[in-house]
Amino acid sequence: MPTPTMRGVDPAGCPFCQTMASPDGMGVTLQAAEGWLALPADRQRPANLGHILLVPAIHIATLNELPDDHAGAMLAALKALTTAVRQAFAATGITVRLNLGPPGQSVGHLHLHVIPRHRDDGFPTTASIPIGLPERQRQADTLRGQFPAHPAS
C-alpha cells in the first residue's frame, strides 16, 4: 500500500505559497490577525461556496511547527475569518476543520478549512468539485470587502 503523502512540504513546491505570491492577489489579509491570510479553496461543495482556507503567511508545514507564541494569533485569525465568512456568504453557521498529516492533510502548509453552512446543505455527504480561478477570485473579492483596506506602510 502506498504511503500517503502531502504536496508542498517544500516551500518551493507549495501551492499555497505560490498562490499567495501570485499577482492574481487571491490572498486576503485579515485585520487583527497579523501573519495570517485567507485563500478560497480550489475544491468546494456547490452548496457551500465560500469555503476558505486560513493559512499562515509564512510556510509552516504542520501545527507542531507553529511557534507557541503564534497560537493566539491563529485563534484571532480564525475568529476574524469565521465572522467575515458568515457575513460575506450569508451563512447560518460555520464548520472548521484542521487536518494534521496525511492522509487528511494533502498540502504541507498548515491550514484550517472554514466552510460556510446553510440549512439542509447536505454537508458533508455532497462531494466537492474543482472551483476555477475566476470563482475563487470572486470569493476573495467578496471576502476582502469584509476587511477594511490596510493603510499603506
Residues that bind Zn ion (CB under 5 A): 14, 16-17, 59, 109
Give Cβ neighbours of residue 26 (< 8 Å, ≥ 6 apart): 19, 39, 40, 136, 137, 140
What is the DSSP pairing of strand 52-56 with strand 36-40?
antiparallel
Q: How far is the CB of 27 from Zn ion (least distance, A)?
A: 12
How near is the Cβ of 125 to Zn ion at its closest, in Å?
31
Q: Are 116 and 85 in contact (CB under 8 A)?
A: yes
3-state secondary structure of 70: helix
CB atoms within 10 A of CB 25: 12
Q: Indicate the residue whose CB is closest to Zn ion.
A: 14
User: Which candidate, 77, 18, 90, places its Cα nearest to that of 47?
Assistant: 90
- Work out how close the CB of 66 gets to Zn ion at its nearest, in angstroms, rounded to a whole number: 13
What the block records as the C-alpha cell of 138 is: 470572486
Q: Which CB sits closer to Zn ion, 27 or 116? A: 27
Query: CB of 31: closest distance to Zn ion in angstroms?
Result: 22
Q: Which is nearer to Zn ion, 81 or 88 (CB)?
A: 81
For residue 67, the minimal CB distance to Zn ion (Å) is 16
Nearer CB in complex with Zn ion: 34/65: 65
Half-sphere exposure of 144 (CA within 13 A, CB side): 15
Give whichever of 8 and 116 is closer to Zn ion, judged by the CB atom.
Answer: 8
In terms of CB distance, is 16 or 147 closer to Zn ion?
A: 16
